[in-house]
Chain A
Amino acid sequence: MMPELGKYADAVLGSYAVSIALIVFVVGWSLWRGAKVRRALAGVEARAGKGAEAKKHG
């Protein structure tokens, strides 16, 4: 049940909205960037592995 915030409702709800939005943004951005870099590294590693294999077998 929602507590009675009275005349300060805007300040309280605004604070929670701003903070939660910023936290969600930094968490989401960190996860997205982490996944993007992991995928990119996997691609580069696969290429490097193939290159090394090709060199080994002439």
Chain B
Amino acid sequence: MSLWEYSNPQKFMQLSRWALPWMAGASALCLVGGLIWGFFGTPDDYKQGSTVKIIYLHVPAAMMAINAWVMMLIASLVWLVRRHHVSALAAKAAAPVGLTFTLIALGTGALWGQPMWGTWWAWDPRLTSFLILALFYLGYIALWQAVDDPDTAADLTGVLCIVGSVFALLSRYAVNFWNQGLHQGASLSLDKKENVADVFWFPLLVCIAGFVLLFVALVLLRTRTEIRLRRMNALLARERMG
């Protein structure tokens, strides 16, 4: 069976009806389990004290803020090249979820930065590119709302998504591009010496899994809603004509 068969709304609805409860259940299990483990079951860091517990929210949210945009980019490209409606609707459905993760990353970053850096905010390359990413999310959502014709809206938001990808990539690699600013390098690394200590790493992995699954579950749920909305608008248009 080809992957493109799921671009058929009926096939997508069938698959997502089956997958959604599993994704939602697994997400709740990982998120609740990971956060409880991280909050109650890990020690303070020798440098950061108890603020290290913020890592279980900040890192997964920041990762997913960028990955959500990458998913929207892929879905938008599929729409622009192959004109599959489900992919355009999936990109639309992902945007508010991505924005939520971006706000969590910015909010927890500010709350962590105040005691650690002595400031809520700095015009640091990573922080600034993340703020711009949040503005791109807002612009993307606003553009979908502003254009009446859904195909034109999908075209325009697809182009905006491609442009915004520069900032999604910058948010990820800003620390490496400009070796300046307050934000430290990546907390996660394949190099064991660079990576966070195992005691923080394992609950963090569970939280990351929780955020990924939450994103998938919410995108499935919201895409189902968008498909229904599209069908409803088509029926209403037919009703008006008949």
Q: A residues near B, CB below 8 A? A: 1, 3-9, 11-12, 14-16, 18-19, 22-23, 25-27, 29-31, 33-34, 37-38, 40-41, 44-45, 47-48, 51
Contacts and interface: CB of A to CB of B under 8 A. Distances in A.
Interface residues of B, number: 39
Interface in B120-172: none
Nearest to A26: B100
B103 to A, nearest CB: 6
A25 B68 CA distance: 18
Interface in B30-62: 31, 35, 39-40, 44, 49-51, 53-54, 57-58, 61
A12 B50 contact: yes
24 contacts: A3-B39, A3-B53, A4-B50, A6-B44, A7-B49, A8-B115, A11-B54, A11-B114, A16-B57, A19-B61, A19-B107, A22-B100, A26-B218, A27-B214, A29-B96, A30-B221, A37-B225, A37-B229, A37-B232, A41-B228, A41-B232, A45-B235, A48-B238, A51-B239
Given A26-B96, A34-B225, A38-B228, A47 B54 contact: no
B111 A15 contact: yes
Interface of B: 31, 35, 39-40, 44, 49-51, 53-54, 57-58, 61, 96-97, 100, 103-104, 107-108, 111-112, 114-115, 214, 218, 221-222, 224-225, 228-229, 231-232, 235-236, 238-239, 242
B225 A30 contact: yes
Contacts of B224: 34
B58 A15 contact: yes
Contacts of B114: 11
